[in-house]
Structure 1
């Protein structure tokens, strides 16, 4: 090994942390992720810093919490002057590339990648990216995805979409599904790696984010009736969560049968994704690069998946939403003795940047709050997260206690996770918990000591300069959007169009 390990970051979107075999899920099939965990360290208590796509992604890249980098929403820009681990690696001579969903504004924002080959899903990026340009050139439109993601089009989805909660077969053939497109282009990037180290590839899949639409034949992989309901399912929405009953879908109608249909399709998208992860890892092995590559698998946030009778991500920072899967396979010289380890330390996505820089032998430009996960002794007593979706919220969590604080809005919650792992018994007013509540409030106050910056947005921020990056053009953007909308209207009106089973 040259001392410059390769780095492969594999990121999913909206992946609940207990939804793969190595994490203890008894139903979903994930042989590639399970094998990666057997070669690395599975962090069982890993958390995102904010359970929304873009803010969490900027934290992973920068190693900073959201109140430090200011990218609060899905339409925000990582401010100039905030360093990232891709930038640091590029300065050190690494060849850096990313493939898949980045969710940046502007779409091809330069955060340190020499090249970006993008497959976006929500927002304006869909009408800039490489994936949708390829789809259009092939005369294809991802109708199911557009109906679920584009609010002006959702009314055309039909009744079955609502009763299945967007769970059904993709209208695209497998070779054009986003997971396949991203996987194929990621393989091509790995084929361009040299033998001397110094390569970074960030592969970011759209799935298992909703809609829950695996392509055929993957959609038939799981029998809904045979699946076990995830921990934390409740027959009705608990009263404190009633305010979230109509978030995206109406969850009062979520039956056990409907949830099993969601599970079958959610798991199928995960197994499809796992298939491509397996191909990526096998390509590294075949080229003799696997042992000396730092490999990170994670997600930007979790998914309720029936927890408290909810779906998706809009609501309180309960563990299924705030926790993320995290597996790190260290280069052979650094982590062989930790292969197969399950680490219950409290870790955060802000630790990824620190870990990558340390593996490459680099120091951050400025001190970062993250831990180097290669150090088995690295630990924190409390992990934090925040959110500004709906009412502002902050989370402080120890190994056995959790505080959810909502500031002046009231409704704070304190959970004894040892006795109440499903966060159903709010003991915020229990005198027996007063000291623990006070300690977590103090910890939150220290964590939020800095005055947080406002949301930062700069649509003219520097972009990657590559031939595939289109110039800003509102007219082209509008024409592209209208073309896809017209294909949705045509497909939804076509007799027999029924991707969702009522």
Structure 2
């Protein structure tokens, strides 16, 4: 096949716990050579969000193009023990990335963190590498290395590598559930090549070299292993790259709001961000952005590698994240069940020299990480299936008008686990965010006048029309996608005075995914919650 007719290669980069404001292309003064180059030679999205703030469900959404709230995935361990639990077990009839690309002749490889029930090979990937996984004898084409092998190849004495957390110096700590946790710090003799991040990107380059030699189109998914996820233990020069005094206190750092769900107040009080002054928090945040800078250098090196291999011209590169990073916003260090912008807004940049992109465009389209799958499918000449929840944003890459529906919005979710009593769904537009809390007070934020989301206006009569509009839109999204919100909860979403109120019995049963090929174990683990016949509450 001639170079002109060859399908595009695809390189996906996914980072973990990555704030949208870590990118200079989003208007912030940060060291971001990798994302800057992608945004300048492609398109940067300033208002991209995740579908959900939990790592595993978000990654399932990216692999399937389906909302995790409809797949029955409320948290990181649903239906099993350990990280990943039973998140989308293999062989349950839900298509993932390789199911779409391998029939089109693509080689599909995965490097780094997956955070699902199985390994990437179980979902159809040809090859897999992770720092703590030995893929020898299982991969089809690629000889994966362990982290120790990677270190040896780099000429690093494995025994000389310091522990990542046990010997932190000058660590900032946070208080959670009665325990002080190390949150950030610095290690003596700790270098960039000592990190799992460096290993992951190095393995990604080796995988691309392997596929290039096979002379076939490829999809390589490179997932930074727990980076820039906390603990923020950073090698030099990144640990000292930012002066903590550069970071002014977040406007919502001391958020003592009372008109929020009781659950959110409890979580906020557990985190106790006010246990240390902002100056100490700024020390940790400076380390966080140093860690982001290290990833940027890895990404920039990867782009240079594509240049050197003469692959850049015909390769789609998309960089996004599973979720954002609160870092003290609204009184929480890590994620919780509130749907706040600091946790949900993420980086998203894309480049494809042959794709007709409007290079240098900064788009405010409300795209999401789950939308990446149908987008790269369209760019590769493949048709996304009609039932996929996510939408291709390829038109936005060309500078054309794009929105998800009649109203420009994005849908976000969290929870749904009956054990946590935390079922949260939200609709965000450019102007407002409506948050539906199934068992507590709802939230409405005017993002134009209150971007820090400090004033819940759910009881403001001046907002009644907007609330009604967003509730109806949310109801439509839930029913169209088969969300597993309880039927009784639907009743609060619709107010129909002419009909004398909304009949909850008219709501559809909780999601068809809970039966047949899509049974992910909810009935097994919660027999009181679903009946085998209809999936309704027993």
The answer to whether 1:456 aligns with 2:525 is no
Q: Which residue of 1 aligns with 2:280?
A: 258
User: For residues 363-395 of structure 1, what are the alpha-carbon distances to aligned partners after superposition, in whole Å with 9 as ceiling and x for unaligned?
Assistant: 235532222222133312221011117411001
Q: Determine helix, strand or coil for the equivalent of 1:252.
A: helix
Asked if 2 retains the 8 angstrom alpha-carbon contact of 1:101 and 1:120, the reply is: no
Give the aligned partner of residue 443 of structure 2: 413
Name the residue aligned to 2:425: 394
* More divergent stretch after superposition (265-274 vs 89-98): 89-98
Checking the alignment, whether the CA contact within 8 Å between 2:375 and 2:394 is kept in structure 1 is yes
Q: 1:244 to 1:49 in 2, by over 3 A?
A: same
Provide the C-alpha distance between the structure 1 equivalents of 2:229 and 2:248, rounded to a whole number of angstroms: 20
Shift of 1:72: 3.1
Residue 265 of structure 1 deviates from its aligned partner by 0.6
1:378 and 2:402 matched:
yes
Give the distance between the partners of 1:45 and 1:23, measured in 2 at CA: 9
Contact 2:239 2:290 in 1 (8 A): yes
- Tell me by how many angstroms 1:218 deviates: 2.3
Contact conserved, 1:77 with 1:457, CA < 8 A, in 2?
no
Does the 8 Å contact 1:245/1:252 carry over to 2? Answer: no
The answer to whether the 8 A contact 2:52-2:412 is kept is yes
The equivalent of 1:167 in structure 2 is 184
Q: Which secondary structure does the structure 2 equivalent of 1:281 belong to?
A: helix
Counterpart residue number, 1:76? 86
Which residue of 1 is the match for residue 383 of structure 2? Answer: 363
Distance 1:135 1:2, change over 3 A: closer
The Cα shift of 1:62 comes to 0.6
In the alignment, the residues of structure 2 paired with residue 160 and residue 25 of structure 1 have an alpha-carbon distance, to the nearest angstrom, of: 24
With over 3 angstroms needed to count, the CA separation of the structure-2 counterparts of 1:112 and 1:429, relative to structure 1, is same
User: What is the CA-CA distance between 1:92 and the residue it aligns to?
Assistant: 1.4
Match status 1:242 vs 2:242: no
C-alpha distance 297-136 of structure 1, shift in aligned 2 (>3 A): closer
Contact 1:23–1:44 (Cα < 8 Å) also in 2? yes
Q: Is the counterpart of residue 15 in structure 1 residue 48 in structure 2?
A: no
Structure 1 spans left out of the alignment, 5+ residues: 122-128, 149-156, 459-502
Identify if the C-alpha distance between structure 1 residues 387 and 279 changes in structure 2 by more than 3 Å, giving closer, same or farther: same
1:316 counterpart = 2:338 = yes
Task: Answer yes or no: is 1:276 the counterpart of 2:298.
Answer: yes
Point out the more displaced range, 38-47 or 446-455.
Answer: 446-455
Q: Closer, same or farther in 2 for the Cα pair 1:441/1:208, shift >3 Å?
A: same
Q: Which residue of 1 aligns with 2:525?
A: none
Structure-2 residue corresponding to 1:2: 5
User: Offset of 1:158 from its aligned partner?
Assistant: 11
Q: Measure the CA separation in 2 of the matches of 1:159 and 1:438.
A: 47
Of residues 437-446 and 110-119 in structure 1, the stretch that sits farther from structure 2 once superposed is 110-119
Kindly indicate whether residue 124 of structure 2 is the aligned counterpart of residue 112 of structure 1: yes
Conserved 8 A contact 2:403-2:409: no
* Alignment check: 8 A CA contact 1:414 1:426 kept: yes
**Corresponding position of 1:47:** 49
1:151-186 per-position Cα deviation (integer Å, ceiling 9, x unaligned): xxxxxx998544785111257543221111112111
Q: Would the aligned equivalents of 2:192 and 2:294 in 1 still touch at CA under 8 Å?
A: no
Q: TM-score, normalised by structure 1?
A: 0.80
Does the aligned pair in 1 maintain the 2:170–2:185 contact within 8 Å? no
User: Contact between 1:53 and 1:301, CA under 8 Å: does it hold in 2?
Assistant: yes
1:315 Cα offset (Å) = 3.5
Q: Is the 8 A contact 1:214 1:268 kept in 2?
A: yes
Structure 1 residue matching 2:47: 3-state secondary structure: strand
Q: Distance in 2 between matches of 1:199 and 1:83?
A: 18
Q: Deviations over 1:14-56 (max 9, x none)?
A: 1111111111112x21122111110111111111111110100
Q: Note if contact 1:44-1:342 (Cα within 8 Å) is conserved in structure 2.
A: yes
Shift of 1:188: 1.3
Give the secondary-structure state (helix, strand or coil) at the position aligned to 1:346.
Answer: coil
Q: Against the structure 1 CA distance between its residues 66 and 82, is the aligned structure 2 distance closer, same or farther, given a 3 Å change threshold?
A: same
Q: Quote the residue 2:507 is aligned against.
A: none
User: Aligned partners of 1:120, 1:438: CA distance in 2, in Å?
Assistant: 50
In 2, the alpha carbon distance for the partners of 1:392 and 1:135 equals 43
Aligned CA distance change for structure 1 residues 219 and 368 (closer, same or farther; 3 Å): same
Please state how far the C-alpha of 1:229 moved relative to its aligned partner.
4.0
Shift of 1:425: 0.8
Q: Give the secondary-structure state (helix, strand or coil) at the position aligned to 2:336.
A: coil
For 2:411 and 2:104, the matched residues in 1 are separated by 31
Cα deviation for residue 238 of structure 1 reads 3.2
| Secondary structure, counterpart of 1:192 in structure 2 | helix
CA shift in 2, pair 1:136/1:174, >3 Å: closer
- The CA deviation string for residues 287-330 of structure 1, in whole angstroms up to 9 with x for no partner, is 2211221111100001112322322212311111111111111x
Decide whether aligned partners of structure 1 residues 91 and 274 sit closer, same or farther in structure 2, where only a CA change above 3 A counts. same
| 8 Å CA contact retained: 1:101, 1:119 | no
Q: Which residue of 2 aligns with 1:86?
A: 98
User: CA 1:420–1:15 in 2, change beyond 3 Å: closer, same or farther?
Assistant: same
Q: Is 1:202–2:232 an aligned residue pair?
A: no
CA contact (8 A) 1:102 1:204 kept: yes
Q: Distance in 2 between matches of 1:69 and 1:170?
A: 41
**In the alignment, is the contact (CA less than 8 A) between 2:172 and 2:280 conserved in 1?**
no
Tell me the secondary structure at the aligned position of residue 75 of structure 2: coil
**Aligned pair in 2 of structure 1 residues 427, 402: CA closer, same or farther (>3 Å)?**
same
Q: Which has the higher contact order (CA 8 A, sep 6+)?
A: 1
- For 1:40 and 1:431, how far apart are their aligned partners in 2? 43
Matches within 5 A, 1:436-451: 436-449=466-479, 450=482, 451=510
Gaps of 5+ in 2: 77-84, 134-143, 153-157, 175-179, 483-509, 523-538
Provide the rounded CA distance (Å) in 2 between the counterparts of 1:63 and 1:146.
39
Asked if the contact 2:44/2:349 (under 8 Å) is kept, the reply is yes
In 2, distance between residues paired with 1:131 and 1:312? 30
CA drift at 1:250: 2.8
